[in-house]
């Protein structure tokens, strides 16, 4: 799997910031509620971040050789997918709520109730934490190259040599 591109995350964040700004502007124009997630969403985000960190640290400890048990490869793959999902979800939440904050700041002094702005800032902060944890745990899941694997890159074929004595390997000559 490829690592998540920070430029792609930035592009998603900018697009969703614009979408959040437009949605907030339109909801204010038509007298609708501001489209911000409730603060209880921070609990869910915290659980996801904690689970991602615990699984990521488990993979990191195995990778660094501090665990004697063999790591289940499915668990490692799930950890990687969870880390990437955490980064993308955090980017979406961060972008959307930054757009809301930008629209709310425009009329900051005129509003009597500024709780929505603080709520959107809290959700944007939670999204930023999700992005950071997702990217860090994704790096935890990378396997460092082996010392002898310098020549075994994808696309480079090893040169086969015939064994020195017949019968040393299960080898059929044509």
pLDDT in tens, 94-131: 999 999 999 888 877 666 667 888 999 999 999 999 99
pLDDT beyond 70 at 157: no
Output the pTM of the full model. 0.78
pLDDT beyond 70 at 155: no
> Taking phi first (over 0 means left), then psi (-120 to 50 degrees means alpha), and beta for anything else, what does residue 155 get?
left
Average pLDDT in the 135-159 region? 66
Helix axis angle for 6-29 and 73-106, nearest 10°, is 40
CA distance 32 to 29: 8
pLDDT digits (tens, 9 = 90+) for 12-51: 999 999 999 999 999 989 989 889 999 999 999 999 999 9
């Amino acid at each position: 799997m490829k690592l998540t591109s920070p430029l792609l995350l930035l592009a998603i964040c900018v697009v969703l910031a614009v979408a959040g700004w437009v949605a907030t502007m339109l909801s204010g124009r038509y007298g609708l509620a501001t489209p911000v997630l409730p603060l209880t969403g921070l609990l869910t985000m915290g659980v996801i971040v904690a689970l991602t960190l615990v699984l990521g640290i488990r993979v990191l400890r195995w990778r660094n050789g501090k665990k004697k048990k063999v790591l289940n490869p499915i668990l490692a793959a799930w950890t990687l997918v969870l880390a990437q999902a955490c980064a993308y979800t955090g980017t979406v939440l961060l972008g959307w709520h930054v757009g809301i904050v930008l629209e709310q700041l425009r009329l900051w002094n005129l509003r009597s109730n500024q709780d929505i702005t603080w709520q959107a800032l809290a959700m944007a902060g939670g999204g930023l934490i999700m992005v950071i944890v997702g990217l860090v745990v994704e790096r935890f899941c990378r396997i460092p190259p082996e010392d002898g694997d310098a020549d075994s890159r994808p696309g480079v074929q090893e040169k086969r040599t015939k064994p020195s004595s017949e019968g040393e390997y299960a080898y059929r000559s044509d």
